Amino acid sequence: MIHAMNLFSGLSLLCLFAVGTATAQPSGRVKLNEGWRFYRGDAAPGDSLRLSYERLKPFLLPAGKQSAVPDGAPDGGDFAAPEFDDSAWRTLDLPHDWGIEGPFRQEYPGETGKLPWWGRAWYRRTIRVGDADLGKRIFLEIDGAMSFSTVWCNGRLAGGWPYGYTSYRVDLTPCLVPGDNTLAIRLDNPPESSRWYPGGGIYRNVWLTKSDPVGIAHWGTFVTTPHVTSDRASVNLRIELRNDGMEMPAAVVTTELFALGADGACSGEVLARAEDVVDRVEDGQLLVQEFSVNNPRLWGPGHPDRYVAVTTVRCGDRVVERYSTPFGIRRAEFTHEGFFLNGERLMLQGVCMHHDLGALGAAINVSAIERQLRILREMGANAIRTAHNPPAPELLELCDRMGFLVLDEFTDTWRIPKKPNGYALLFDDWGTADLTALIRRDRNHPSVIAWSTGNETAEQWYPETYDVSRELTDLVHREDPSRPATFGSNYWLSASNDFRHTVDIFGFNYKPMLYEGFCRNSPFQPFMGSETASCISTRGFYVFPLSDDKGRGRADFQVSSYDRFSPDWSTPPDTEFEGLDRNPTAAGEFVWTGFDYLGEPTPYNDDYTILENFSDPEARTRAAEELARLGRLRIPSRSSYFGIVDLAGFPKDRYYLYQARWRPDLPMAHILPHWT
């Protein structure tokens, strides 16, 4: 690891990463996770209105280009003030999810995990600006904060971002003074904003970046490999330069390519080199550097080989920036004949994954994510869909390193709401900025093979709203011409009407019976099962007698583990298998879900389904009377039944069904109880 003091004093190695964090980044970037103070609530009752999103919205900057918040922003109150005494607050390290700390309560809404994830809270800590930092630009970077986060520096609003899944940066420079500086981050996580457990808090990593005024823009490099063979690969690197107010200096921009070892360090000699002389560095200026790599090691499952582009910016005889961009050389293509990686047909054997980690909550934990991926790989899975939101950067880094393919998803909702306080409130103001941020952050990951612009949004139902999908697809093409756009559709008619033409790849949610017709009517459009099966079961729980009715198999708020049961809108696994086998041009499937997750406890996410547990008519009547007397009777279930693996990481019986299909060469047998 590079010591923080070395980074800030400008002494950095050409290429060295901590394993698990090899994402595109400048050299002067360090974690800022330790020693935060935390408090649930606001300083004064009136702060909830005074600091509401509607009041602050004019001063938040989705473009990310302005160097300071416009004048007139309200102050943050007592909790943002440098002189406030926060010594009585709790001390903790990030990432942090306050919701998972509990308590579980039956009166909490049944579909979001029965945990107190909503509410307002503050995080505070001090950073020191030394003499060596004078003249530098200093940025705070937040990988994810749930939600409506606002950042205050020395009592001044520095910026913020409402969507809790988006990574963003705030320029602290205009607010800083020599010596100690107070950071205060306020979150306002509204109830009724999610269909699953979202978590609460600064649940991903926070970083501090110190850089010269001239350098490379945030997420300012983009690597593509337009021509790939086993003998030679062409590598293009697009570089966006940054100039935060300096007179137009001359600069020399040099990039060297290295192989990237499994330990995250450069391996071997320089493979290729390019250099550009820039007479006058302008903010937003673009450079394109081209390289050729002989006998490239191609990235893919089973051989996740990577490279790194180390870009150095010099002004005169001084190095002002070193920026490292890990990448993979590979050719990924979706065609009407399926998905191809490096010229070979590859079936997507994928699972959908929500972002929580079971008992660990939403706070990211690299070891826990890696364990999940190891368990899924043993099953035969080779792909992950990030349902239904931008993932943690660490997940993508692990997928790069372990050889998983990724369908990177933007959101669950566009303009038409699913929840009263959901993303529909933000879409018009922030949709473009959020999707742009996702693509720019993640587009150098070789694991990412496509962008999903949405999931089951109601706009697919109405021709007058199809343009929303077209505009998002156009944005994908502008930001990343190398990857296609897709969408998870659960509407029967979308596969045959004009909506299907608003995306590059058509994604079917639970519609294997439509594959054959789609192949006939849209013979040249790629398609896949973007969400499949949704079988429900409880590990180790069996109901007798067996039944072929997919709505049966329930008792005591559990679901039988015979894997024959699913909600009305979904299918058992073998129905999807048959649909894929009959239509082999499908790119593959993403099963709902790889692991159980907090929230969405189908089939027990409706209060009245409690009555299904009473087979005796008199007991059912008494339960109904109690339900009426109380107004509602709460549901005991707090997590999903969809997972192939349970919350703790133990495989259900279904795991071995998928293993048998996805790893046909693996000798295996799985025995489970059967009534004969």
Active-site amino acid positions: 456, 531
Q: Per the omega criterion (within 30 degrees of 0), is the bond before 147 cis?
A: yes
How many other C-beta atoms are found inside a 10 Å radius of the C-beta of residue 189? 24
**Distances in whole angstroms, Cα of residue 331 to Cα of each of 200, 336, 417, 441, 587:** 38, 16, 37, 20, 15
In contact, 173 and 229? CB cutoff 8 Å: no
Sole residue written with tokens 């109150």: 77
In the DSSP assignment, the letter for residue 372 is H
**Cα-based torsion angle of the residue sequence 442, 444, 445, 446 in order, rounded to the nearest 10 degrees:** 140
Cα 541 from Cα 175, distance rounded (Å): 58
**Residue 569 CA to chain centroid, in angstroms?**
26
The DSSP bridge partners found for residue 465 are none
Cα 215 from Cα 16, distance rounded (Å): 19
Report which of 498, 507, 430, 423 is spatially closest to residue 467, judged by C-alpha positions. Answer: 498
In contact, 410 and 390? CB cutoff 8 Å: yes
Sole residue written with tokens 């349970």: 646
Sole residue written with tokens 């004969």: 676
Query: 260: which 2 tokens?
Result: 């990237």
Cα 304 from Cα 445, distance rounded (Å): 11
The DSSP bridge partners found for residue 654 are none
Residues 6+ away with beta carbon under 8 Å from 669: none
Sole residue written with tokens 């050389």: 329
**Cα-based torsion angle of the residue sequence 15, 18, 20, 25 in order, rounded to the nearest 10 degrees:** -50
The DSSP bridge partners found for residue 593 are none
For residues 435-465, one letter each, b for 16 or more C-beta atoms within 10 angstroms of the residue's C-beta and e for the rest, the string is: bbbbbbbbbbbbbbbbbbbbbbbebbeeeeb
Report which of 350, 337, 249 is spatially closest to residue 526, judged by C-alpha positions. Answer: 337
Q: What is the CA radius of gyration of the chain?
A: 26
Q: What are the strands, taking DSSP E only, across 35-96?
A: 36-40, 90-92
Cα 57 from Cα 647, distance rounded (Å): 38
Residues 6+ away with beta carbon under 8 Å from 435: 410, 453, 472, 475, 476, 479
List, edge to edge, every strand of the sheet that includes 90-92. 90-92, 36-40, 119-129, 179-189, 149-153, 156-161
Q: What are the strands, taking DSSP E only, across 317-472?
A: 318-327, 332-335, 338-341, 344-345, 348-353, 383-386, 405-409, 448-455
**Residue 343 CA to chain centroid, in angstroms?**
28
**Range list of H helices, 30-137:** 47-50, 53-56
What secondary structure, in 3-state letters, does 271-285 show? EEEEEEEECCCCCCC
Question: What residue type is assigned to position 159 of the chain?
Answer: G
